[in-house]
Structure 1
Amino acid sequence: MSLPEKAFPVSWDQFHRDARALAWRLADNGQEWRAMVCITRGGLVPAAIVSRELNIRMIETVCIASYHDYDTQGQMKVLKSISPEIAKSGGEGVLIVDDLTDTGKTAAEVRAMLPKAHFAAVYAKPKGRPLVDTFVTEVSQDTWIYFPWDLGFTYQEPIAKGTRG
Structure 2
Amino acid sequence: MADKTLSAEERAGRAFPVSWDQFHRDCRALTWRLNEAGPFAAIIAITRGGLVPAAIVARELGVRVIDTVGVASYDHTRQGELNVLKAISEDTLKLGSGTGKGLLIVDDLVDTGKTAQLVREMLPDAHFATVYAKPKGRPLVDTFITEVSQDTWIFFPWDTALSFAPPLRDGAA
1:5, 1:82 → 2: CA distance?
A: 33
CA contact (8 A) 1:87 1:113 kept: no
Give the C-alpha shift of residue 159 in structure 1: 4.8
- Residue 33 of structure 2: SS of its match in structure 1? helix
Which aligned segments of 4 or more residues in structure 1 are displaced greater than 2 angstroms? Answer: 1-5, 155-160
Equivalence map 1:16-31=2 (5 Å):
16-29=24-37, 31=38
Instruction: Kindly provide the amino acid, as one letter, of the partner of residue 36 in structure 2.
Output: D
Matched, 1:79 2:85: yes
Match of 1:43 in 2: 50
| Match status 1:106 vs 2:112 | no
Which deviations, in whole Å up to 9, do the C-alpha atoms of 1:102-148 show, x marking residues without a partner?
A: 00000001001000000000000000100000000000000000000
RMSD over aligned Cα atoms: 1.7
Number of aligned positions between the proteins: 161
**Mapped contact 1:76–1:106 kept (Cα < 8 A):** yes
1:13 is aligned to: 21
When residues 127 and 71 of structure 1 are mapped into structure 2, their CA distance, relative to the original with a 3 A threshold, is farther
- Unaligned 5+ runs, structure 1: none
Q: TM-score, normalised by structure 1?
A: 0.91
2 CA distance for matches of 1:159 and 1:74? 34
**Do the aligned partners of 1:126 and 1:140 also contact (CA within 8 Å) in 2?**
yes
* TM-score, normalization by structure 2: 0.87
Counterpart-to-counterpart distance in 2, 1:126 and 1:67:
19
Q: 1:67 is matched with which residue? A: 74
Q: Mark the runs of 5 or more structure 2 residues left unpaired by the alignment.
A: 1-7
Q: Among the aligned pairs, what percent are the same residue?
A: 63
